[in-house]
């Protein structure tokens, strides 16, 4: 049955993405998603609480799952390039999603998804829990990098994804590997 659940999840996600390309996500109803997917409303609620949980599933499964092995292998640049490439493949959908603000903002959803993945990786790399400073917890580190990555992703999307995935990865690496004073001096 796991295969059927996965198939239904994908069907609902694709239906949602198609609808989001045609109208604002806030205006999409569960009925519209299920009608387009050819399933009944209760089926949706057997899989997701609401359309925002479905959006989170899309980000986790279709964007972050493919990069998980790369992150675990320390291939961060390749993971970043893949993220930007996957986002660009569905440009219209992610441009619409990036407009979500408020309680279920795209930014909050993305930040949580990235932080969860990074926390998993960090905890896997440093099981002892020992660090240089009590403030440098795995949670704080994951949140910091999720915040910075989310900023770059959202502004890249809102800027029309004009910069190629490799180039925006270079930009992110440039900023994240320098101190604030270095960046200011180099501008």
pTM exceeds cut of 0.85 = yes
Assign 3 a pLDDT band (cuts: 50, 70, 90). confident
Distance CA 122, CA 3 (A): 30
Distance CA 85, CA 40 (A): 33
Take residue 162 and report the two structure tokens written for it: 């004009």
pLDDT value at residue 177: 92
Chain mean pLDDT for the chain: 92
As a whole-number percent, the residues of the chain with pLDDT over 70 amount to 96
Domains, the chain? 1-48 (1.10.10.60), 66-186 (no CATH)
| Residues 140/116, Cβ–Cβ less than 8 Å | no
Q: What is the largest CA-CA distance in the chain?
A: 59
pLDDT value at residue 134: 81
Q: What is the pLDDT of residues 45-59, one digit of tens each?
A: 999 999 999 999 999
Q: What is the pLDDT of residues 76-134, one digit of tens each?
A: 999 999 999 999 999 999 999 999 999 999 999 999 999 999 999 888 876 665 667 88
pLDDT value at residue 187: 83
Residues 6+ apart with CB under 8 A from 178: 186
* Cα dihedral 67/71/72/73 (nearest 10): 100
Section 21-47 average pLDDT: 95
SS3 of the chain: helix, strand, coil, percent, to 5: 75, 0, 25
| Residues 153/110, Cβ–Cβ less than 8 Å | yes
């Amino acid at each position: 049955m796991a295969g059927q659940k996965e198939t239904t999840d994908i069907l609902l996600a694709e239906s949602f993405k198609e609808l989001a390309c045609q109208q604002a996500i806030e205006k999409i109803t569960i009925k519209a998603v299920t009608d387009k997917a050819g399933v009944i409303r209760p089926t949706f609620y057997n899989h997701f609480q609401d359309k925002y949980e479905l959006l989170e599933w899309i980000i986790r499964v279709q964007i972050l799952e493919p990069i998980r092995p790369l992150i675990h292998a320390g291939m961060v640049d390749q993971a970043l390039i893949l993220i930007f490439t996957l986002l660009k493949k569905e440009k219209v959908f992610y441009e619409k999603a990036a407009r979500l603000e408020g309680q279920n903002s795209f930014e909050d959803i993305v930040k949580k998804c990235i932080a969860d993945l990074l926390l998993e990786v960090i905890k896997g790399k440093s099981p002892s829990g020992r660090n240089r400073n009590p403030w440098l917890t795995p949670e704080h580190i994951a949140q910091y990098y999720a915040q910075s990555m989310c900023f770059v992703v959202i502004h890249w999307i809102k800027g029309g994804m004009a910069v190629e995935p490799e180039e925006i990865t270079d930009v992110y690496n440039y900023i994240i590997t320098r101190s604030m004073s270095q960046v200011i001096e180099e501008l």
